[in-house]
Structures are given as C-alpha cells and as structure tokens.
Amino acid sequence: MKALQVVLLLLLGLLGARALPFGDGKPAMGFNTWNAFRTDINEKQIMKIADLMVSLGLRDAGYTYLNLDDAWSEKQRVGGKLVANKERFPSGIKALADYVHSKGLKFGIYGDAGTMTCALYPGSLGYEEVDAQTFAEWGVDYLKYDNCFAKREDWVLDRYRAMGEALNKTGRPIFYSLCNWGVMEPWLWAPQIGHSWRITEDILPTWDNVVKLLDYSVGLSRLAGKGIGHHDMDMLYVGNDHLGEYHPYGPFYQEHKMHFALWALMKSPLMVGHDLRRINQSSLDLLLNKEIIAINQDELGVPGDLIWQQGTRRIFAAPLTGGARAVVMANFQTTQTQYPMSNVTVYWEQLGLRRDQAAGVRDIYGGQDLGVFRGSFSAAIATHDVAVLRIAPLEGPTNDGWRPWHGQPLYAAQPANLAVPQPQDWIPNYSGPRTAASAQSQDKQQQQKAAQRQVPSTSHGPPSFALVLACVAAVAALGVVGYYIVLQRRLRGWQQLEDSEAARKAGELARMQQRSKDGWGNGA
C-alpha cells in the first residue's frame, strides 16, 4: 500500500499544484438545491432553507454548507461577469451569502467547466479567474463545478485544473467539488486538483439507480480518504417521500436507511436534497442519526467498500478510529414474497480481526448494544434493508490498520453463508412438511375453531335481510371510493414521473442540439 501511495503522490506531483488544503479533510455535509428544487430556486426559499437548517438541528449535526445548484445566474454575463438572476435573486448573491453566514452556515455555489451549465446558463470555461474572483468577493465557501458543454479537445484535466488554480489564486479557502460524473477516472487525478469528485452520473430517485451507483463505487476505497479527498456518490435523496409514489419501486423507508448508511460509510459528502419545508419526522431523524454521521466524519477517514457478496446479500465495511469496524449488511433482494428476510453473517477474519477475538456489536439504527460476540455475527435482514453495525474488539490486538481491500476474497465460502435456509428459523412452531393427513387434520381443527368463534344466537334473532344488504352496500361503496383514491394517486404519480422524464428528455435534446451547433463530439 505504501508503494502505491508513493507512486500516486509522485504522479500527482507531476500534474501541478495541489488544491489548497481544506479544513479537517472530512467529507463535506450540507444542503444542495438540485434534488429538491431543480431550477426553481429563489432567494426567499434559500433563506427559509437556511433558517430550517438551524431550527431543525441540521447545522448542529454537521450539515454546514448551503449550496445553490444550477440556475442562479442570468443567462448572459454582464461586463464579462456572472450576475445573479434579477427576478429570482433580486438582492444579489453577496446578500444571500451574508444571510447564510449570519446563520452560522457556509455558502456554496455552482459553476460549469464548459461554455454553458447543464441548464443552459453561462459556463466558466475561459472565465475561470474572473469567476473565481467573483465567487471569492461574494463570500463563497464551496464550488460545485459541473461538466456540461465542453468540447473533447478542451481536455478535462486542463479545464478542472484551471478553475482549481483560479480558486487558489483568490486566497479564499473554497471547497472545490468536481462534478464530472466519473468521466476519465477522476479518482486518479482529481485529488491533485480538488477536495471531492463525483464518481458517477446523476443520482435518480429510484432503487435501481441507488444500486447502480453503489456498484460503481466498488473497488474505489483505496483511492480516497483523509489527506486525499473524497469520492462523491452524488447528493442524497433521503427524505424525498414522494419518491415511493413517483416510481412503483422507488425508495421506501428501509431504502432511505440503506442509501444514507452506505453514502456515509463510503465517506461521500452528505448533501441533503429534500425540501426541508415539508420534511417528515422519520426522514429528519434519519438525517440526524449521530452514529451514522460519526461513521462519515470518523477521524481515520477511510472510505468503506464492498467486502463480500453472494447474490443479493452484500457486506460493506470500513475501519474506524481506535480499531472498531463499521459494517453494513444489506439485502438487495427485490422480489416481495412470503419470506421477506435473509440471513447474513459477517466473519471476523473478513474484518481483519482474530477469529476468537471478543468484540462488542452495536446495532446503530436499532440504537442498542447487542452483546459480545466471537468469530462472527449473523442477522436477518429484510429486503432492501440493512443492519448497520459497529463492531469493536474488546481485547487485543486492536488496530485500525485494516482496510476494506485487505479482507477475504469477495467470494469467500464461509459456512454460515453457505447453509441452506432451515424452516424452523423462519416458521414459528414448524411441524414438518404438509401431508395429506396433516392437511386434513389442520383443516378440521380450523373448522372447529371457526365454529367456536361463531356468535351465539341472541334474543334479537338473526339480522334482517335489509340490514345485511345495507352493510354490503356500505362496504362496496367504501371499496369503490378507496380504489378511486388509490388509482388517482397512482395516476398522478405516474403522470409526474412521465412529466419529469419528458422534461429531462427535452433538456437532453436541447443540449444535443446545442452540442451539434458547437460541433462537440464527446458525450456529456
């Protein structure tokens, strides 16, 4: 590993000046407007978000950046400079940054390393120095720098380095977040230029997309961390409770739990992307979970990675300061059946611990210590759910030198994970398979129970035919109304999904047209 680090540092040294070192080197935490509002942003709404970041406790939990995404500027530069959109930001960006600062928060902005931003506002290619200076004058603390509308011949490293150097020149410490969607393996060069870099295309509010981004992150842990910079898995969708309605398979609560825990474990920046004006308590509690945040902000700063996979069962892990391990056992099974759980077992040797070492196991989402275990720990995990564990050795040797890439092979054949599921583990009072005889006797018992449950006849006599008819009619009416409501909601949800898909496609078309006008050959 040492040798790899030396080679990396030498290579990075050849690339040019390093970005200004930044703060404590921990993943950035905050709020970004894009996932919640897209281009529909304005100063009143941002001020309200700033207020809510304080009153909901997010700022004090560590979410300190409030970042504007695309569409904050006018469509044209004025005197060669970027200017705030007059209608939506009439007081100007400096005034907004001042307001955000007055709340004890930091202020972030968005730019683009091409001729236009993805939403067709002016880009900074060729204007790096003047734009960096403008940002510094406004009191910007964070720049997200996107990758739309750039030609292939404007080499990606040159474009991103130019803005890095321009930011350094201002002398103001500005967190530099590269957003080039994982193009040209930014993890191999971005540490030299900025503080975090996107490793994937945009996150979408669907389960399949969250799984895809997780797949893209596999094998990258050794290339980021404290002193290097952080892989950015893109902004959070935690709390966007409309997602489940938009998409039939959209994230539900357990999916939000998995999304949040794994983004935290990967040491990705944690950027809230939910409209805080309508957040519900369970989503807020999730975002405020101190122990998950502590994994993300751990002093050791080593990203987690996938350490084991068998089909839809997966284990991700990261070392923590002081020798403990953060472990996320996940069930990616999607089919909803009568068996909505699977057993997963993590073995100590997968975590670089001695096989007979005693370790305390804490269930983080459950908020409880589960006891002392040796050798392994098993849990039943529901579909799309996770067990997030802190496994801390209680006796030596303790070391925090273990890394996810030191573990057992991904295909390790451990006995517990190869054991065929047993019915007695999943079926209470299991008494063997059904036979014709046992089926008959069970049916008989059920009939007897049903007979006992029947209401004894009373002096009132049997209910009249009219009463029965009225009840049936009432139930049917309720059913029709309920069905109509559900159908309406579904149709609305699908319509919204189609609308947003159509809007996305229209945007793509506009960009493609613009690109062909620009004669741009490489895909964005």
For the bound state, the minimum distance from the C-beta of residue 508 to ligand GLA, rounded and expressed in Å, comes to 10
Answer for the pair 155, 125: CB distance below 8 angstroms, yes or no.
no
Q: Which is nearer to ligand GLA, 108 or 352 (CB)?
A: 108
d(CA 75, CA 506): 18
Q: Which is nearer to ligand GLA, 117 or 124 (CB)?
A: 117
Q: Which is nearer to ligand GLA, 355 or 505 (CB)?
A: 505
Sheet with 305-310: strands ordered across: 305-310, 313-319, 325-331, 386-393, 358-363, 368-374
CA angle 211, 214, 218 (to 5 degrees): 140
Catalytic residue (one of 202, 363, 400, 518) = 202
Q: Is 326 in the site for ligand GLA (CB under 6 A)?
A: no
Q: Is 146 in the site for ligand GLA (CB under 6 A)?
A: yes
At what angle are helices 128-138 and 93-102 packed, to 10 degrees?
40
Stretch that binds ligand GLA, among 92-100, 117-125, 168-176, 322-330 (CB under 6 A): 117-125
CA angle 43, 170, 114 (to 5 degrees): 65
How many residues appear in the chain? 524
For the bound state, the minimum distance from the C-beta of residue 389 to ligand GLA, rounded and expressed in Å, comes to 31
Torsion, CA 335, CA 408, CA 361, CA 425, rounded to 10:
40
Q: What are phi and psi of 430, to 5 degrees?
A: -65, 130
Positions in 346-375 near ligand GLA (CB under 6 A): none
Positions in 281-320 near ligand GLA (CB under 6 A): none
Q: Which is nearer to ligand GLA, 197 or 332 (CB)?
A: 197
- Give which of 269, 214, 324, 319 is closest to 26, Cα–Cα: 269
Stretch that binds ligand GLA, among 113-121, 189-197, 204-212, 419-427 (CB under 6 A): 113-121
Q: Which is nearer to ligand GLA, 182 or 304 (CB)?
A: 182
- For the chain, the maximum distance between any two Cα atoms, rounded to a whole number of angstroms, is 97
Q: Which is nearer to ligand GLA, 114 or 493 (CB)?
A: 114
Pick from 31, 68, 70, 328: which binds ligand GLA (CB under 6 A)?
70
Pick from 69, 275, 298, 305: which binds ligand GLA (CB under 6 A)?
69
For the bound state, the minimum distance from the C-beta of residue 146 to ligand GLA, rounded and expressed in Å, comes to 5
Q: Is 118 in the site for ligand GLA (CB under 6 A)?
A: yes
DSSP states of 164-193? HHHHHHH-S--EEEE-STTTT-GGGTGGGT
* CB-count exposure of residue 137 (10 Å: 0-12, 13-18, 19+): middle
Distances in Å between the alpha carbon of 288 and those of 107, 236, 302, 369, 512?
Answer: 21, 13, 21, 20, 41
69 is catalytic: no
Pick from 51, 74, 129, 202: which binds ligand GLA (CB under 6 A)?
202
Q: Count CA within 13 A, CB hemisphere, residue 85.
A: 17
d(CA 15, CA 505): 37
Residues 6+ apart with CB under 8 A from 154: 114, 125
Size of the site for ligand GLA (CB under 6 A): 10
Pick from 132, 150, 179, 318: which binds ligand GLA (CB under 6 A)?
179
Catalytic residue (one of 141, 146, 275, 385) = 146
For the bound state, the minimum distance from the C-beta of residue 147 to ligand GLA, rounded and expressed in Å, comes to 7
146 is catalytic: yes
For the bound state, the minimum distance from the C-beta of residue 34 to ligand GLA, rounded and expressed in Å, comes to 5
How does strand 386-393 pair with strand 325-331?
A: antiparallel
Using the Cα atoms of residue 501, residue 503, residue 509 and residue 515 in order, give the sign of their dihedral: negative
* CB-count exposure of residue 170 (10 Å: 0-12, 13-18, 19+): middle
Stretch that binds ligand GLA, among 41-49, 112-120, 363-371, 394-402 (CB under 6 A): 112-120
Q: Which is nearer to ligand GLA, 69 or 305 (CB)?
A: 69
d(CA 225, CA 109): 24
For the bound state, the minimum distance from the C-beta of residue 71 to ligand GLA, rounded and expressed in Å, comes to 7
Q: Which residues pair with 341 in a beta bridge?
A: 382
For the bound state, the minimum distance from the C-beta of residue 523 to ligand GLA, rounded and expressed in Å, comes to 13
Q: Is 142 in the site for ligand GLA (CB under 6 A)?
A: no
Q: Which is nearer to ligand GLA, 117 or 357 (CB)?
A: 117
For the bound state, the minimum distance from the C-beta of residue 13 to ligand GLA, rounded and expressed in Å, comes to 29
Tell me the residue nearest to ligand GLA as measured from the CB. Answer: 118
DSSP state of 408: S
For the bound state, the minimum distance from the C-beta of residue 355 to ligand GLA, rounded and expressed in Å, comes to 44
d(CA 98, CA 86): 18
For the bound state, the minimum distance from the C-beta of residue 26 to ligand GLA, rounded and expressed in Å, comes to 21
d(CA 407, CA 301): 18
Q: Which is nearer to ligand GLA, 117 or 283 (CB)?
A: 117
Residues 6+ apart with CB under 8 A from 402: 319, 325, 351, 352, 353
Stretch that binds ligand GLA, among 115-123, 217-225, 241-249, 322-330 (CB under 6 A): 115-123
Q: Which is nearer to ligand GLA, 182 or 239 (CB)?
A: 182
Pick from 28, 29, 34, 178: which binds ligand GLA (CB under 6 A)?
34
Q: Is 68 in the site for ligand GLA (CB under 6 A)?
A: no
Residues that bind ligand GLA (CB under 6 A): 34, 69-70, 117-119, 146, 179, 181, 202
Q: Active-site positions?
A: 146, 202
